A and B are shown apart, each in its own frame.
Chain A
């Protein structure tokens, strides 16, 4: 089984990536990078990462979230995070990245905050 499975769906002009697995150095980080870069190439610039199924992330995975955020902003799009597990929320708190990312508990709330 892959380290990280990503399913894509459309909610209006927002692309939601439902992720399940681990975002760690190697396969998981590469899968996230590939998915986001492909969406940007397709002109899909508003992206919501649903992290409810991501039980584990390492510094490489955190770096990939930052890289995705920067790449999407550069293209004039927006990246938001949905359904962080408590552990992921703790990690983003201690790394001070919760001050950078927009994170939401519900999909409706996240979608309504895309401009």
Chain B
């Protein structure tokens, strides 16, 4: 399969989460990914982009979120980059712990990790955070 890449730059308002979801839906179809994996990937992208807009960029519309999709050799790699103040994933409590089960937020990262094969965060040298997610198909 030939390598394919798509890059999006989105404003930091939550209506644009749907744009990212639509773009990744088209992209995974063009990569030949099956419906079940596609559902998982779209879910993870929605959560990652929401986090980048809401928690990373604090919904500051002067800041953008960049999303890069790449597929090659049955591996899909997605990066979501924000321009926020940084993020420490170790500080997020387990939402399935009985103490947290009735919390109304804090499940996004858990879902990303559940649906993707690899999820990792990097501080960007120019500021902001990149989350890199990988799904093998």
Give Cα A70 to B101, complex, Å: 11
Which of these, B15, B39, B47, contacts A26 with CB under 8 Å? B15
Q: Which B residues, 65 to 114, have Cβ-Cβ distances below 8 Å to chain A? A: 95-96, 101-105, 107-108, 110-111, 114
- SS of A interface (majority): helix
- SS of B interface (majority): helix
Q: Which A residues, 6 to 62, have Cβ-Cβ distances below 8 Å to chain B? A: 24-26, 58-60, 62
Which of these, A26, A60, A66, contacts B102 with CB under 8 Å? A66
Closest residue of chain B to A62, judged by CB?
B107
Interface size counted on chain A using CB atoms at 8 A: 21
Known: A95-B95, A95-B96, A95-B110. A64 touches B17 (CB 8 A): no
Most central of B39, B96, B103, B107 by chain A CB within 10 Å: B107
Q: Flag if A26 contacts B110 (CB, 8 Å).
A: no
Q: Which 9 A-B pairs have the closest CB atoms?
A: A63-B104, A59-B107, A59-B108, A96-B96, A67-B104, A26-B14, A63-B105, A66-B104, A58-B46
Q: Which residues of B are interface residues toward A (Cβ below 8 A)?
A: 14-15, 17-18, 39, 43, 46-47, 50, 54, 95-96, 101-105, 107-108, 110-111, 114
